[in-house]
Amino acid sequence: MAGERERSSGRSGTAEPRTSARGVGGAAHGDLAGSSGAVRPGRLPVDLVIAWVAFVALVAATVLLQVMVGSGAEGADAEGFAWFAPAGWMRLILIPLYAGVAAWLAFATRRAMSVARHAPVSALTMGGVAVLGVLDLAALILDRFALEPAVLVLTLACWAASGFVFVRERATGARSRFMPFALYLGWNTVRIACAVGALITVAPADEPGVAAPLATIAIMIVLAILAFLMRRLCDDYIFGAAVAWCFVAEVAHLAGASMFWTVAAAIAGAAGIFFALAPWERFRRPVSSDRAGSTSRPSARPQAGPRTDRTSSRS
């Protein structure tokens, strides 16, 4: 009887590790299935597909409308000369912009298709890219019909969407991930400035007065301040590069209207870009070190006083 009990206990003892091993193996398999179900390697998420479709449609519409229809900027001549309206070749910035977004989408696709356990791009970020593409496409179409108020509203929505994606990608710390959307944010900011300029800087080219040219200079100053804030707060120079490209196109646009205001805009633009992109932190470091040395020196002087007092008391 005792032998039978030992055998049964031995069998039960050997059976327990087997069930526990199966339980551990089952849990590990369940975790792997759960993680693969969340990431779904080998399958494209719906939000990524929508983002790709919206982006391809945006690029195709841009090429078709730009080549077949034209720039669509001649409608302002009927009411007057828009002083803040950068030259049409400013749209060449769309080449590096679309290339950067395509590279980011390829990166997101590679993350989604990867079998390894890489953290995929979040659904909120991907949805923001999809919404950005749809809004940008709608604004591009309405811009060809010279509907400035509607274009301004859609451009504001594009600015908010690009800013949302930029903030989320900026939180990753990878510069290559947020650089395309920093350029996108700068481009949308420039578009807002152009839409505002089409409303408040329209005046005859031969007798513009002072209001329209000064409003143009004011818009350039605001853009330079925004570029400075982006570099100072986000350590980003791409936004400022978009603003600088806008200033170059704006000076070229004013060259055919007034030489005086062209020179004034060139000086204001150059000063604004220097103010926005100059590394002011490097200029302040020597001053701060000198101040630190000057403040540390007087701290040693009071220590000499008590020593003289002690020596005097001993004497």
- Average per-residue pLDDT in the chain? 75
The least confident of 115-119, 202-206, 226-230 is: 115-119
With b for 16 or more beta-carbon neighbours within 10 A and e for fewer, the 194-228 pattern comes to bbbbbebbbbeeeebeeebbebbbebbeebbebbb
Predicted structure pTM score? 0.72
Tell me the mean pLDDT in the region 79-96.
86
Over residues 18-50, the pLDDT tens digits come to 433 333 333 333 332 333 334 455 567 787 888
CB atoms within 10 A of CB 5: 9
pLDDT band at 51 (very low <50, low <70, confident <90, very high): confident
Over residues 145-177, the pLDDT tens digits come to 777 778 888 999 999 999 999 999 998 888 888
Over residues 98-107, the pLDDT tens digits come to 999 999 999 8
pLDDT band at 189 (very low <50, low <70, confident <90, very high): very high
d(CA 315, CA 312): 5
Contacts of 58 (CB under 8 A, 6+ apart): 98, 133, 136, 137, 140
Tell me the mean pLDDT in the region 67-83.
58
pLDDT top residue among 9 and 218: 218
Contacts of 111 (CB under 8 A, 6+ apart): 118, 119, 120, 121
Question: Residue 283 above 50 pLDDT?
Answer: yes
Percent of the chain with pLDDT over 90: 30
pLDDT top residue among 52 and 144: 52
